[in-house]
Chain A
Protein backbone atom coordinates (compact mmCIF):
# COMPACT_ATOMS: atom_id res chain seq x y z
CA UNK A 1 0.00 0.00 0.00
CA UNK A 2 2.71 2.45 1.03
CA UNK A 3 4.61 1.57 -2.11
CA UNK A 4 1.66 2.45 -4.30
CA UNK A 5 1.36 5.73 -2.43
CA UNK A 6 5.01 6.49 -3.13
CA UNK A 7 4.55 5.59 -6.79
CA UNK A 8 1.54 7.91 -6.99
CA UNK A 9 3.50 10.69 -5.30
CA UNK A 10 6.17 10.29 -7.96
CA UNK A 11 3.59 10.39 -10.76
CA UNK A 12 1.95 13.47 -9.28
CA UNK A 13 5.30 15.24 -8.98
CA UNK A 14 6.16 14.47 -12.58
CA UNK A 15 2.74 15.48 -13.89
CA UNK A 16 2.98 18.67 -11.82
CA UNK A 17 6.32 19.62 -13.33
CA UNK A 18 5.13 18.89 -16.85
CA UNK A 19 1.94 20.84 -16.19
CA UNK A 20 4.11 23.91 -15.66
CA UNK A 21 5.74 23.36 -19.04
CA UNK A 22 2.35 22.91 -20.71
CA UNK A 23 1.08 26.09 -19.05
CA UNK A 24 4.16 27.89 -20.40
CA UNK A 25 3.52 26.55 -23.92
CA UNK A 26 -0.08 27.64 -23.55
CA UNK A 27 0.97 31.18 -22.64
CA UNK A 28 3.40 31.27 -25.56
CA UNK A 29 1.36 29.50 -28.21
CA UNK A 30 -2.22 29.22 -26.94
CA UNK A 31 -2.57 32.88 -26.03
CA UNK A 32 0.14 34.65 -28.00
CA UNK A 33 0.57 32.37 -31.03
CA UNK A 34 4.33 32.14 -30.54
CA UNK A 35 5.76 28.91 -31.93
CA UNK A 36 8.22 28.42 -29.12
CA UNK A 37 9.62 24.93 -29.36
CA UNK A 38 12.69 25.43 -27.25
CA UNK A 39 11.14 25.36 -23.82
CA UNK A 40 13.34 22.41 -22.82
CA UNK A 41 16.29 24.78 -23.23
CA UNK A 42 14.80 27.03 -20.58
CA UNK A 43 14.13 24.01 -18.36
CA UNK A 44 17.77 22.99 -18.67
CA UNK A 45 19.02 26.49 -17.87
CA UNK A 46 16.77 26.57 -14.80
CA UNK A 47 17.84 23.12 -13.64
CA UNK A 48 21.56 23.79 -13.99
CA UNK A 49 21.30 27.25 -12.45
CA UNK A 50 19.64 25.69 -9.43
CA UNK A 51 22.28 22.95 -9.26
CA UNK A 52 25.22 25.36 -9.52
CA UNK A 53 23.84 27.90 -7.05
CA UNK A 54 23.07 25.31 -4.35
CA UNK A 55 26.17 23.16 -4.96
CA UNK A 56 29.09 22.73 -2.55
CA UNK A 57 32.75 22.22 -3.36
CA UNK A 58 33.61 19.57 -5.98
CA UNK A 59 34.74 16.15 -4.77
CA UNK A 60 36.47 13.20 -6.48
CA UNK A 61 36.43 13.44 -10.24
CA UNK A 62 34.16 16.48 -10.39
CA UNK A 63 35.47 19.07 -12.83
CA UNK A 64 33.24 22.07 -12.19
CA UNK A 65 34.74 25.33 -10.92
CA UNK A 66 31.70 27.34 -9.94
CA UNK A 67 29.59 26.65 -6.86
CA UNK A 68 27.79 28.95 -4.47
CA UNK A 69 26.60 26.81 -1.58
CA UNK A 70 23.32 28.72 -1.24
CA UNK A 71 20.04 27.53 0.35
CA UNK A 72 17.39 26.06 -1.96
CA UNK A 73 15.21 29.16 -2.22
CA UNK A 74 18.12 31.25 -3.49
CA UNK A 75 18.75 28.60 -6.13
CA UNK A 76 15.06 28.47 -6.98
CA UNK A 77 14.78 32.23 -7.50
CA UNK A 78 18.06 32.28 -9.41
CA UNK A 79 16.73 29.55 -11.72
CA UNK A 80 13.77 31.75 -12.68
CA UNK A 81 15.86 34.89 -13.06
CA UNK A 82 18.72 33.44 -15.08
CA UNK A 83 16.25 31.71 -17.41
CA UNK A 84 14.41 35.00 -17.91
CA UNK A 85 17.67 36.70 -18.86
CA UNK A 86 18.43 33.89 -21.35
CA UNK A 87 14.94 34.25 -22.82
CA UNK A 88 15.42 38.00 -23.15
CA UNK A 89 18.60 37.49 -25.16
CA UNK A 90 16.90 34.90 -27.39
CA UNK A 91 13.76 37.01 -27.80
CA UNK A 92 15.49 40.28 -28.59
CA UNK A 93 16.23 39.41 -32.24
CA UNK A 94 13.80 36.54 -32.86
CA UNK A 95 10.50 37.98 -31.67
CA UNK A 96 10.72 40.58 -34.41
CA UNK A 97 10.36 37.98 -37.13
CA UNK A 98 7.18 36.14 -37.91
CA UNK A 99 5.96 32.63 -37.24
CA UNK A 100 8.19 29.77 -38.25
CA UNK A 101 11.50 31.53 -37.65
CA UNK A 102 10.87 31.64 -33.94
CA UNK A 103 10.23 27.91 -34.05
CA UNK A 104 13.56 27.25 -35.78
CA UNK A 105 15.55 29.55 -33.51
CA UNK A 106 14.10 28.24 -30.24
CA UNK A 107 14.55 24.67 -31.47
CA UNK A 108 18.20 25.38 -32.24
CA UNK A 109 18.62 27.14 -28.91
CA UNK A 110 17.47 24.05 -27.04
CA UNK A 111 19.84 21.83 -29.00
CA UNK A 112 22.77 24.18 -28.41
CA UNK A 113 22.05 24.29 -24.69
CA UNK A 114 22.05 20.50 -24.48
CA UNK A 115 25.42 20.35 -26.25
CA UNK A 116 26.85 23.03 -23.97
CA UNK A 117 25.75 21.05 -20.95
CA UNK A 118 27.86 18.06 -21.91
CA UNK A 119 30.86 20.04 -23.18
CA UNK A 120 31.37 22.95 -20.78
CA UNK A 121 32.59 20.83 -17.87
CA UNK A 122 33.94 23.71 -15.76
CA UNK A 123 30.38 24.97 -15.48
CA UNK A 124 28.16 21.91 -15.77
CA UNK A 125 30.43 19.06 -14.75
CA UNK A 126 30.07 17.64 -18.27
CA UNK A 127 28.29 14.37 -18.94
CA UNK A 128 28.71 13.38 -15.28
CA UNK A 129 26.24 16.12 -14.42
CA UNK A 130 25.28 16.90 -10.87
CA UNK A 131 24.08 14.23 -8.49
CA UNK A 132 22.73 14.54 -4.95
CA UNK A 133 20.89 17.73 -5.74
CA UNK A 134 19.93 19.72 -2.68
CA UNK A 135 16.19 19.27 -2.10
CA UNK A 136 14.09 21.84 -0.21
CA UNK A 137 13.29 20.98 3.45
CA UNK A 138 15.12 17.70 3.03
CA UNK A 139 16.65 17.92 6.49
CA UNK A 140 13.22 18.27 8.13
CA UNK A 141 11.62 15.22 6.48
CA UNK A 142 13.94 12.25 6.46
CA UNK A 143 13.40 8.97 4.67
CA UNK A 144 10.85 8.02 2.06
CA UNK A 145 8.14 10.30 3.44
CA UNK A 146 9.94 13.08 1.60
CA UNK A 147 8.44 11.85 -1.70
CA UNK A 148 4.98 12.57 -0.35
CA UNK A 149 5.99 16.00 0.88
CA UNK A 150 7.63 16.86 -2.46
CA UNK A 151 4.48 15.90 -4.37
CA UNK A 152 2.43 18.22 -2.15
CA UNK A 153 4.98 21.02 -2.47
CA UNK A 154 4.98 20.73 -6.27
CA UNK A 155 1.17 20.74 -6.39
CA UNK A 156 1.12 23.97 -4.37
CA UNK A 157 3.52 25.63 -6.84
CA UNK A 158 1.48 24.35 -9.81
CA UNK A 159 -1.69 25.84 -8.30
CA UNK A 160 0.04 29.20 -7.85
CA UNK A 161 1.34 29.19 -11.44
CA UNK A 162 -2.09 28.14 -12.71
CA UNK A 163 -3.70 31.11 -10.92
CA UNK A 164 -1.07 33.43 -12.42
CA UNK A 165 -1.71 32.04 -15.91
CA UNK A 166 -5.47 32.38 -15.42
CA UNK A 167 -5.13 35.98 -14.35
CA UNK A 168 -2.87 36.79 -17.29
CA UNK A 169 -5.23 35.04 -19.70
CA UNK A 170 -8.40 36.75 -18.55
CA UNK A 171 -6.94 40.23 -17.99
CA UNK A 172 -6.91 42.87 -20.74
CA UNK A 173 -3.29 41.80 -21.31
CA UNK A 174 -4.45 38.31 -22.31
CA UNK A 175 -7.16 39.73 -24.54
CA UNK A 176 -4.61 41.79 -26.44
CA UNK A 177 -2.41 38.69 -26.75
CA UNK A 178 -5.27 36.72 -28.28
CA UNK A 179 -6.04 39.60 -30.63
CA UNK A 180 -2.41 39.70 -31.72
CA UNK A 181 -2.40 35.94 -32.21
CA UNK A 182 -5.52 36.12 -34.37
CA UNK A 183 -4.46 39.02 -36.56
CA UNK A 184 -1.20 40.82 -36.11
CA UNK A 185 -1.69 43.64 -38.68
CA UNK A 186 -5.05 44.50 -37.14
CA UNK A 187 -3.47 44.58 -33.68
CA UNK A 188 -0.85 46.99 -35.01
CA UNK A 189 -3.56 49.11 -36.63
CA UNK A 190 -5.22 49.68 -33.24
CA UNK A 191 -1.92 50.85 -31.83
CA UNK A 192 -0.76 47.76 -29.97
CA UNK A 193 2.99 47.44 -29.57
CA UNK A 194 3.00 43.80 -30.64
CA UNK A 195 6.70 43.35 -29.91
CA UNK A 196 6.35 44.42 -26.28
CA UNK A 197 3.44 42.04 -25.72
CA UNK A 198 5.34 39.16 -27.30
CA UNK A 199 8.42 39.84 -25.22
CA UNK A 200 6.53 40.06 -21.94
CA UNK A 201 4.69 36.79 -22.43
CA UNK A 202 7.82 35.10 -23.77
CA UNK A 203 9.71 36.03 -20.60
CA UNK A 204 6.88 34.95 -18.32
CA UNK A 205 6.64 31.53 -19.98
CA UNK A 206 10.42 31.10 -19.92
CA UNK A 207 10.55 31.98 -16.22
CA UNK A 208 7.92 29.32 -15.50
CA UNK A 209 10.08 26.80 -17.41
CA UNK A 210 13.12 27.87 -15.39
CA UNK A 211 11.32 27.22 -12.11
CA UNK A 212 10.06 23.92 -13.47
CA UNK A 213 13.68 23.02 -14.28
CA UNK A 214 14.73 23.56 -10.69
CA UNK A 215 11.77 21.46 -9.53
CA UNK A 216 12.74 18.71 -11.95
CA UNK A 217 16.13 18.43 -10.25
CA UNK A 218 14.35 18.08 -6.86
CA UNK A 219 12.35 15.25 -8.30
CA UNK A 220 15.26 13.49 -10.04
CA UNK A 221 17.86 14.54 -7.43
CA UNK A 222 20.25 14.94 -10.35
CA UNK A 223 20.88 17.03 -13.44
CA UNK A 224 22.26 15.33 -16.53
CA UNK A 225 22.50 16.65 -20.10
CA UNK A 226 20.57 13.63 -21.39
CA UNK A 227 17.48 14.61 -19.38
CA UNK A 228 16.97 17.75 -21.46
CA UNK A 229 16.35 16.38 -24.93
CA UNK A 230 13.72 17.61 -27.38
CA UNK A 231 11.27 14.94 -26.15
CA UNK A 232 10.50 17.21 -23.19
CA UNK A 233 9.38 20.02 -25.52
CA UNK A 234 7.38 17.56 -27.60
CA UNK A 235 5.60 16.18 -24.55
CA UNK A 236 4.49 19.66 -23.48
CA UNK A 237 3.35 20.48 -27.03
CA UNK A 238 1.41 17.24 -27.38
CA UNK A 239 -0.16 17.89 -23.98
CA UNK A 240 -1.39 21.34 -25.03
CA UNK A 241 -2.79 20.04 -28.31
CA UNK A 242 -4.54 17.23 -26.45
CA UNK A 243 -5.83 19.54 -23.74
CA UNK A 244 -6.79 22.53 -25.88
CA UNK A 245 -4.91 25.72 -26.74
CA UNK A 246 -5.86 29.02 -25.18
CA UNK A 247 -7.26 27.35 -22.09
CA UNK A 248 -5.22 26.81 -18.93
CA UNK A 249 -7.52 24.06 -17.70
CA UNK A 250 -6.89 22.30 -20.99
CA UNK A 251 -3.16 22.47 -20.26
CA UNK A 252 -3.68 20.59 -16.99
CA UNK A 253 -6.06 18.02 -18.46
CA UNK A 254 -3.80 17.42 -21.44
CA UNK A 255 -0.77 16.81 -19.25
CA UNK A 256 -2.70 14.42 -17.00
CA UNK A 257 -4.02 12.45 -19.98
CA UNK A 258 -0.65 12.20 -21.70
CA UNK A 259 1.56 11.49 -18.69
CA UNK A 260 -1.12 9.43 -16.97
CA UNK A 261 -1.20 7.12 -19.98
CA UNK A 262 2.60 6.90 -20.00
CA UNK A 263 2.83 6.15 -16.31
CA UNK A 264 0.00 3.63 -16.42
CA UNK A 265 2.22 1.58 -18.73
CA UNK A 266 4.69 1.26 -15.88
CA UNK A 267 2.01 -0.51 -13.86
CA UNK A 268 1.86 -3.33 -16.34
CA UNK A 269 3.98 -6.03 -14.78
CA UNK A 270 5.96 -7.88 -17.41
CA UNK A 271 8.81 -10.28 -17.59
CA UNK A 272 12.29 -8.67 -17.74
CA UNK A 273 12.60 -9.56 -21.44
CA UNK A 274 9.48 -7.57 -22.29
CA UNK A 275 10.41 -4.42 -20.35
CA UNK A 276 12.33 -2.69 -23.16
CA UNK A 277 9.40 -3.36 -25.49
CA UNK A 278 6.92 -1.80 -23.11
CA UNK A 279 9.09 1.26 -22.58
CA UNK A 280 9.48 1.81 -26.32
CA UNK A 281 5.71 1.51 -26.58
CA UNK A 282 5.59 4.80 -24.64
CA UNK A 283 6.57 6.74 -27.76
CA UNK A 284 3.99 4.93 -29.87
CA UNK A 285 1.42 5.76 -27.24
CA UNK A 286 2.29 9.47 -27.39
CA UNK A 287 1.60 9.48 -31.12
CA UNK A 288 -1.51 7.41 -30.74
CA UNK A 289 -3.01 9.70 -28.10
CA UNK A 290 -2.32 12.67 -30.38
CA UNK A 291 -3.96 11.05 -33.41
CA UNK A 292 -7.08 9.99 -31.50
CA UNK A 293 -7.50 13.41 -29.94
CA UNK A 294 -7.01 15.25 -33.23
CA UNK A 295 -9.52 12.97 -34.90
CA UNK A 296 -12.32 13.33 -32.35
CA UNK A 297 -11.52 16.59 -30.55
CA UNK A 298 -9.70 18.73 -33.15
CA UNK A 299 -9.50 21.75 -30.86
CA UNK A 300 -8.54 19.74 -27.80
CA UNK A 301 -10.45 18.23 -24.90
CA UNK A 302 -11.19 21.65 -23.40
CA UNK A 303 -11.22 24.20 -26.26
CA UNK A 304 -10.74 27.93 -25.86
CA UNK A 305 -13.77 29.43 -24.21
CA UNK A 306 -15.08 32.91 -24.99
CA UNK A 307 -15.23 35.03 -21.86
CA UNK A 308 -18.47 36.64 -20.75
CA UNK A 309 -18.67 40.42 -20.97
CA UNK A 310 -17.88 42.15 -17.68
CA UNK A 311 -21.05 42.94 -15.73
CA UNK A 312 -22.07 46.56 -15.51
CA UNK A 313 -23.52 47.70 -12.21
CA UNK A 314 -25.83 50.44 -13.48
CA UNK A 315 -24.38 52.01 -16.58
CA UNK A 316 -26.01 49.44 -18.88
CA UNK A 317 -29.44 51.04 -18.81
CA UNK A 318 -28.22 54.54 -19.56
CA UNK A 319 -25.85 53.50 -22.32
Chain B
Protein backbone atom coordinates (compact mmCIF):
# COMPACT_ATOMS: atom_id res chain seq x y z
CA UNK B 1 0.00 0.00 0.00
CA UNK B 2 1.20 3.49 -0.72
CA UNK B 3 -0.15 6.86 0.24
CA UNK B 4 -2.51 8.32 -2.32
CA UNK B 5 -3.08 11.52 -0.39
CA UNK B 6 -0.46 13.00 1.90
CA UNK B 7 -1.21 15.91 4.20
CA UNK B 8 2.05 17.30 5.54
CA UNK B 9 2.14 19.71 8.47
CA UNK B 10 -0.95 21.60 7.36
CA UNK B 11 -2.19 24.49 9.51
CA UNK B 12 -5.09 26.81 8.98
CA UNK B 13 -5.52 29.91 11.12
CA UNK B 14 -8.60 32.10 11.02
CA UNK B 15 -7.24 35.18 12.76
CA UNK B 16 -6.28 33.94 16.22
CA UNK B 17 -8.21 30.70 15.89
CA UNK B 18 -6.15 27.67 14.96
CA UNK B 19 -8.72 25.59 13.11
CA UNK B 20 -6.03 23.14 12.10
CA UNK B 21 -2.66 22.90 13.78
CA UNK B 22 0.25 21.12 12.12
CA UNK B 23 -1.79 18.21 10.86
CA UNK B 24 -0.01 15.31 9.14
CA UNK B 25 -1.84 12.25 7.84
CA UNK B 26 -2.03 9.88 4.88
CA UNK B 27 -4.80 8.19 2.97
CA UNK B 28 -3.64 4.86 1.56
CA UNK B 29 -4.41 3.89 -2.00
CA UNK B 30 -7.44 1.59 -2.16
CA UNK B 31 -8.51 2.15 1.44
CA UNK B 32 -11.60 3.50 3.12
CA UNK B 33 -10.13 6.01 5.56
CA UNK B 34 -12.25 7.91 8.06
CA UNK B 35 -11.77 11.26 9.73
CA UNK B 36 -13.59 11.67 13.01
CA UNK B 37 -13.62 14.11 15.86
CA UNK B 38 -16.03 16.20 17.94
CA UNK B 39 -17.81 19.21 16.47
CA UNK B 40 -15.48 22.02 15.51
CA UNK B 41 -12.37 19.87 15.50
CA UNK B 42 -11.41 20.94 11.98
CA UNK B 43 -12.59 18.01 9.87
CA UNK B 44 -14.40 20.02 7.22
CA UNK B 45 -11.61 22.62 7.27
CA UNK B 46 -9.17 19.86 6.37
CA UNK B 47 -11.42 18.74 3.48
CA UNK B 48 -11.64 22.32 2.24
CA UNK B 49 -7.85 22.62 2.36
CA UNK B 50 -7.35 19.40 0.43
CA UNK B 51 -9.85 20.36 -2.27
CA UNK B 52 -8.63 23.94 -2.62
CA UNK B 53 -11.73 25.64 -1.22
CA UNK B 54 -9.50 27.12 1.51
CA UNK B 55 -5.83 28.03 1.29
CA UNK B 56 -3.58 26.58 3.98
CA UNK B 57 -1.64 28.91 6.28
CA UNK B 58 1.22 26.41 6.39
CA UNK B 59 2.07 22.95 5.10
CA UNK B 60 1.43 21.08 1.90
CA UNK B 61 -0.87 18.52 0.36
CA UNK B 62 0.25 15.85 -2.13
CA UNK B 63 -2.01 13.75 -4.31
CA UNK B 64 -0.40 10.72 -5.95
CA UNK B 65 2.99 12.25 -5.17
CA UNK B 66 2.17 15.57 -6.83
CA UNK B 67 1.87 18.76 -4.83
CA UNK B 68 -1.62 20.23 -5.08
CA UNK B 69 -1.36 22.93 -2.40
CA UNK B 70 -2.80 26.20 -3.65
CA UNK B 71 -4.20 24.89 -6.93
CA UNK B 72 -7.66 26.23 -7.82
CA UNK B 73 -10.66 24.08 -6.85
CA UNK B 74 -11.55 22.92 -10.35
CA UNK B 75 -8.00 21.88 -11.18
CA UNK B 76 -7.84 19.69 -8.05
CA UNK B 77 -11.19 18.12 -8.97
CA UNK B 78 -9.94 17.41 -12.48
CA UNK B 79 -6.90 15.60 -11.07
CA UNK B 80 -9.34 13.00 -9.75
CA UNK B 81 -10.50 14.17 -6.32
CA UNK B 82 -14.26 14.31 -5.85
CA UNK B 83 -15.86 15.78 -2.76
CA UNK B 84 -19.30 16.09 -1.30
CA UNK B 85 -20.47 18.82 1.05
CA UNK B 86 -21.79 18.70 4.59
CA UNK B 87 -25.20 19.84 3.35
CA UNK B 88 -26.05 18.15 0.05
CA UNK B 89 -24.98 20.55 -2.62
CA UNK B 90 -27.00 20.18 -5.81
CA UNK B 91 -28.01 22.38 -8.74
CA UNK B 92 -31.61 23.00 -7.60
CA UNK B 93 -33.08 24.31 -10.86
CA UNK B 94 -31.54 21.55 -12.92
CA UNK B 95 -33.35 18.25 -13.33
CA UNK B 96 -31.98 15.11 -11.71
CA UNK B 97 -30.57 13.78 -14.99
CA UNK B 98 -28.98 17.15 -15.75
CA UNK B 99 -27.34 17.18 -12.32
CA UNK B 100 -25.61 13.95 -13.29
CA UNK B 101 -24.86 14.78 -16.91
CA UNK B 102 -23.35 18.17 -16.13
CA UNK B 103 -20.64 16.53 -14.03
CA UNK B 104 -19.10 14.81 -17.03
CA UNK B 105 -15.55 16.12 -17.48
CA UNK B 106 -14.25 17.74 -20.68
CA UNK B 107 -17.49 17.77 -22.62
CA UNK B 108 -17.01 18.91 -26.17
CA UNK B 109 -20.15 21.03 -25.96
CA UNK B 110 -18.76 23.06 -23.09
CA UNK B 111 -16.66 25.22 -25.36
CA UNK B 112 -18.56 28.17 -26.78
CA UNK B 113 -16.82 27.71 -30.12
CA UNK B 114 -17.62 24.03 -30.67
CA UNK B 115 -21.24 24.63 -29.62
CA UNK B 116 -21.64 26.15 -33.09
CA UNK B 117 -19.11 24.20 -35.10
CA UNK B 118 -19.43 20.61 -33.87
CA UNK B 119 -23.15 20.05 -33.58
CA UNK B 120 -23.05 16.38 -34.63
CA UNK B 121 -20.24 15.17 -32.45
CA UNK B 122 -21.62 16.98 -29.40
CA UNK B 123 -24.92 15.16 -29.92
CA UNK B 124 -23.19 11.81 -30.23
CA UNK B 125 -21.20 12.46 -27.07
CA UNK B 126 -24.34 13.46 -25.17
CA UNK B 127 -26.04 10.18 -26.11
CA UNK B 128 -23.07 8.18 -24.97
CA UNK B 129 -22.96 10.02 -21.66
CA UNK B 130 -26.72 9.65 -21.21
CA UNK B 131 -26.30 5.87 -21.24
CA UNK B 132 -24.06 6.22 -18.21
CA UNK B 133 -26.46 8.66 -16.58
CA UNK B 134 -29.21 6.03 -16.85
CA UNK B 135 -27.01 3.42 -15.18
CA UNK B 136 -26.16 5.85 -12.41
CA UNK B 137 -29.83 6.77 -11.93
CA UNK B 138 -30.64 3.11 -11.45
CA UNK B 139 -27.88 2.65 -8.88
CA UNK B 140 -28.96 5.63 -6.80
CA UNK B 141 -32.62 4.66 -7.20
CA UNK B 142 -33.79 7.87 -8.86
CA UNK B 143 -34.83 6.63 -12.30
CA UNK B 144 -38.46 7.47 -11.57
CA UNK B 145 -37.58 11.02 -10.61
CA UNK B 146 -35.09 11.79 -13.34
CA UNK B 147 -37.15 14.64 -14.76
CA UNK B 148 -37.84 16.27 -11.40
CA UNK B 149 -35.92 19.37 -10.46
CA UNK B 150 -33.26 18.60 -7.86
CA UNK B 151 -34.89 21.15 -5.53
CA UNK B 152 -37.89 18.81 -5.15
CA UNK B 153 -35.91 15.85 -3.79
CA UNK B 154 -36.05 14.63 -0.19
CA UNK B 155 -32.91 14.84 1.94
CA UNK B 156 -31.81 11.21 1.44
CA UNK B 157 -32.52 11.40 -2.29
CA UNK B 158 -30.51 14.61 -2.51
CA UNK B 159 -27.61 12.92 -0.72
CA UNK B 160 -27.63 9.97 -3.10
CA UNK B 161 -27.81 12.27 -6.10
CA UNK B 162 -24.89 14.32 -4.83
CA UNK B 163 -22.73 11.25 -4.35
CA UNK B 164 -23.86 9.89 -7.73
CA UNK B 165 -22.98 13.16 -9.38
CA UNK B 166 -19.50 13.31 -7.86
CA UNK B 167 -18.83 9.80 -9.16
CA UNK B 168 -19.76 10.82 -12.71
CA UNK B 169 -16.39 12.34 -13.44
CA UNK B 170 -14.59 9.10 -12.58
CA UNK B 171 -12.52 10.30 -9.63
CA UNK B 172 -9.84 8.15 -8.02
CA UNK B 173 -10.30 9.59 -4.56
CA UNK B 174 -13.67 10.52 -3.06
CA UNK B 175 -13.98 12.76 -0.01
CA UNK B 176 -17.37 12.37 1.64
CA UNK B 177 -18.28 15.03 4.19
CA UNK B 178 -20.84 13.53 6.59
CA UNK B 179 -22.49 11.23 4.04
CA UNK B 180 -24.72 9.86 6.79
CA UNK B 181 -26.37 13.19 7.64
CA UNK B 182 -29.91 13.46 6.35
CA UNK B 183 -29.99 9.82 5.35
CA UNK B 184 -32.44 7.38 6.96
CA UNK B 185 -31.16 4.04 8.38
CA UNK B 186 -32.40 1.87 5.48
CA UNK B 187 -30.77 4.17 2.97
CA UNK B 188 -27.63 4.29 5.11
CA UNK B 189 -27.12 0.51 4.81
CA UNK B 190 -27.51 0.80 1.08
CA UNK B 191 -25.02 3.64 1.00
CA UNK B 192 -22.50 1.65 3.07
CA UNK B 193 -22.86 -1.37 0.77
CA UNK B 194 -22.35 0.84 -2.24
CA UNK B 195 -19.22 2.43 -0.77
CA UNK B 196 -17.75 -1.01 -0.03
CA UNK B 197 -18.62 -2.18 -3.54
CA UNK B 198 -16.99 0.84 -5.17
CA UNK B 199 -13.97 0.46 -2.92
CA UNK B 200 -13.55 -3.13 -4.13
CA UNK B 201 -13.59 -1.78 -7.68
CA UNK B 202 -10.56 0.29 -6.71
CA UNK B 203 -11.95 3.63 -5.55
CA UNK B 204 -10.32 5.22 -2.50
CA UNK B 205 -12.55 6.90 0.09
CA UNK B 206 -11.84 9.49 2.74
CA UNK B 207 -14.92 9.95 4.90
CA UNK B 208 -15.91 12.41 7.61
CA UNK B 209 -18.45 10.89 9.93
CA UNK B 210 -20.42 11.59 13.04
CA UNK B 211 -22.30 8.34 12.91
CA UNK B 212 -19.64 6.20 14.61
CA UNK B 213 -21.24 2.79 14.00
CA UNK B 214 -21.41 3.62 10.30
CA UNK B 215 -17.76 4.67 10.31
CA UNK B 216 -16.54 1.68 12.36
CA UNK B 217 -18.29 -0.76 10.07
CA UNK B 218 -16.94 0.82 6.94
CA UNK B 219 -13.43 2.01 7.43
CA UNK B 220 -10.06 0.34 7.37
CA UNK B 221 -8.25 3.17 9.06
CA UNK B 222 -9.30 6.13 11.20
CA UNK B 223 -7.78 9.52 11.93
CA UNK B 224 -9.06 11.43 14.94
CA UNK B 225 -8.96 15.22 15.15
CA UNK B 226 -9.49 17.24 18.31
CA UNK B 227 -9.20 21.04 18.47
CA UNK B 228 -7.40 21.05 15.14
CA UNK B 229 -4.80 18.50 16.19
CA UNK B 230 -4.47 14.92 15.06
CA UNK B 231 -4.68 13.01 18.35
CA UNK B 232 -4.46 9.47 17.08
CA UNK B 233 -4.69 7.23 14.03
CA UNK B 234 -5.18 3.54 13.60
CA UNK B 235 -7.52 0.69 12.70
CA UNK B 236 -11.11 1.08 14.01
CA UNK B 237 -10.68 -1.33 16.95
CA UNK B 238 -7.59 0.39 18.32
CA UNK B 239 -9.05 3.84 17.91
CA UNK B 240 -12.33 2.89 19.62
CA UNK B 241 -10.42 1.88 22.74
CA UNK B 242 -7.98 4.75 22.72
CA UNK B 243 -8.34 6.78 25.90
CA UNK B 244 -7.63 10.10 24.21
CA UNK B 245 -10.47 9.49 21.77
CA UNK B 246 -12.93 8.61 24.50
CA UNK B 247 -11.83 11.69 26.41
CA UNK B 248 -12.24 13.91 23.35
CA UNK B 249 -15.73 12.64 22.71
CA UNK B 250 -16.99 12.34 26.28
CA UNK B 251 -14.83 14.92 27.99
CA UNK B 252 -13.76 12.52 30.79
CA UNK B 253 -10.78 13.65 32.77
CA UNK B 254 -8.46 11.15 34.29
Q: Which residues of A contact B (CB under 8 A)?
A: 164, 167-168, 171-173, 175-176, 178-179, 181-183, 185-194, 197, 200-201, 204, 246, 304, 306-310, 312-313, 315-316, 318-319
Contact = CB atoms under 8 A, between A and B. Distances in A.
6 contacts: A167-B116, A172-B126, A183-B90, A189-B51, A306-B94, A315-B131
Contact of B127 (A168, A200, A310): A310
A contacts with B: majority SS: helix
B51 A306 contact: no
Interface string B76-103: 0110001111000111111101110111
Query: Which of B53, B94, B111, B165 lies at the interface centre, i.e. has the most chain A CB atoms within 10 A of its CB?
Result: B94
Contact of A189 (B77, B107, B138): B77
Nearest to A199: B112
> Nearest 7 A-B pairs (CB), nearest first?
A172-B109, A191-B77, A188-B73, A182-B91, A191-B78, A315-B131, A190-B103
Contacts, number: 132
A201 B105 CA distance: 19
Interface core residue of A183, A191, A308 (most chain B CB under 10 Å) = A191
B112 A307 contact: no
Interface string B151-178: 0000000000000011011000000000
Contacts of A171: 109, 115, 122
Contact of A193 (B74, B92, B115): B74
A182 B91 CA distance: 5
A306 B73 contact: no
Contacts of B75: 191
B110 interface: yes
Given A190-B105, A316-B134, 18 more contacts: A171-B115, A175-B98, A175-B101, A176-B110, A179-B94, A179-B98, A181-B93, A185-B53, A185-B89, A186-B89, A189-B82, A190-B82, A190-B165, A191-B105, A312-B130, A312-B134, A315-B130, A319-B134
Contacts of A316: 131, 134
User: Which bucket holds chain B's interface residue count?
Assistant: 35 or more
Majority-rule SS of B interface residues: helix
Contacts of A182: 90-94
B241 to A, nearest CB: 36
B74 A192 contact: yes
Contacts of A319: 131-132, 134-135, 138
B192 interface: no
A172 B122 contact: yes
Nearest to A318: B131
B94 A168 contact: no
B189 interface: no
A101 B97 CA distance: 33
A310 B166 CA distance: 21
B197 interface: no
Nearest to B105: A191
Contacts of B108: 172
B86 to A, nearest CB: 11
Contact of A178 (B73, B94, B111): B94
Contacts of A190: 77, 82, 102-103, 105, 165-166, 168-169
A191 B127 contact: no
B2 to A, nearest CB: 25
A175 B132 CA distance: 17
B53 A178 contact: no
B18 interface: no
B149 interface: yes
A313 B127 contact: yes
Contacts of B92: 182-183
Contact of B89 (A168, A183, A312): A183
A190 B134 CA distance: 19
A159 B155 CA distance: 43
Given A189-B51, A306-B147, A178 B91 contact: yes
Contacts of A306: 94-95, 98, 147, 149
A308 B146 CA distance: 10
